[in-house]
Structure 1
């Protein structure tokens, strides 16, 4: 295994991590911003409101896109095992 192969594997690992974590992080960030604006307007400063809504959004994203995430992770793992075997 040479350095270009290692660099390609690491680059693909970062790409898969961003691809899998990106939707959850972006949606929870958007929910956090919307809740923060709502709390600033209404002057309700309860921390559990934003936490619970972010948790619900992350769970919904996992329920909706979980099979796609698992398939992507399995494909990447198969590629890694194929490189190890070669």
Structure 2
């Protein structure tokens, strides 16, 4: 397997692991921004704290799925190194 394929697979794993957290954080940020614009409350910590809570909850709920994906990729790399 060429090195380019390994890097492509690694980028795919990174996208699969990071995309859900980034998308959830973005959605929460947009919703909070809309609510802040409507209520004219411009406090930056509200958005930050809510994003942090959502990301931590996702890590608690989806952490095992993320670790399984990472372990599968690592095992695939070790198999390539063996033979």
Structure 2 residues without counterparts, runs of 5 or longer? none
Structure 1 residues without counterparts, runs of 5 or longer? none
Q: Any idea what SS the aligned residue of 1:23 has? A: helix
- Cα-to-partner distance string for 1:18-65 (whole Å, 9 max, x where unaligned): 000010000000000000011111110101100000000001110111
Which of 6, 26, 36 is 1:39 aligned to? 36
Q: TM-score w.r.t. structure 1 length?
A: 0.93
Which of 8, 16, 26 is 2:13 aligned to? 16
User: Cα offset for 1:7?
Assistant: 1.2
Q: How many residues align?
A: 83
Q: Given the alignment of the two structures, is residue 68 of structure 1 paired with residue 65 of structure 2, yes or no?
A: yes
Q: TM-score w.r.t. structure 2 length?
A: 0.96
User: Distance between the aligned counterparts of 2:15 and 2:30, measured in 1?
Assistant: 21
User: Distance between the aligned counterparts of 2:54 and 2:2, measured in 1?
Assistant: 37
Superposed structure 1 runs of 4+ greater than 2 Å apart = none
C-alpha RMSD of matched pairs (Å)? 0.9
